[in-house]
Amino acid sequence: MKNSDTFTIKPKGEREIEVSRRFDAPRKLVFEAFTKPDLVKRWLGPVRGWAMDVCEIDLKPGGRYRYIWRRDNSEMIVAGTYREVAPPDKIVHTEQFEKPWYEGEAVITTTFVESNGQTTVTMTMLHQSQASRDAVLKSGMELGMMETYDQLEALLAA
């Protein structure tokens, strides 16, 4: 991976996963890349043969989002509700897959901190149980996140 030295993923407490990545871009631009559907589709969409066909974002507390990826005859759908939106500093939202591969719903807090023109994105995922958190950690999500974050880095540089 291109910027694996700026990417970390680790368990935190009994039910959390903390993911962090530094991007060479201002915070406002990184925040927009996380919240504007046309940008999200460009970096989060194309992974390992999957295409993001649907990216709906109603960015406000109580607003919902919904992403649908398709590959061959398979479909993956994730959706949730925004609990807090504080541009360009923080987003808190829920996450639940339509065909769940882990127990329950996760609450994800994403912060954006800029220093010297670079932005560190830290995502803390709170799961309903330690077993759910551990299943996610063992799923291979690290590689997928590294790949999509590399795509985000390329988008930010363009």
Cα separation, 93 vs 108, in Å, equals 5
Beta strands in the chain (DSSP E): 7-12, 16-23, 51-57, 64-71, 74-86, 90-97, 106-115, 118-126
The per-residue pLDDT for range 31-70, each reduced to its tens digit, is 999 999 999 999 998 788 889 999 999 999 999 999 999 9
The per-residue pLDDT for range 108-119, each reduced to its tens digit, is 999 999 999 999
Catalogue all structural domains in the chain, each as residue range(s) with its CATH number: 4-157 (3.30.530.20)
Does the pLDDT value for residue 1 go beyond 50?
no
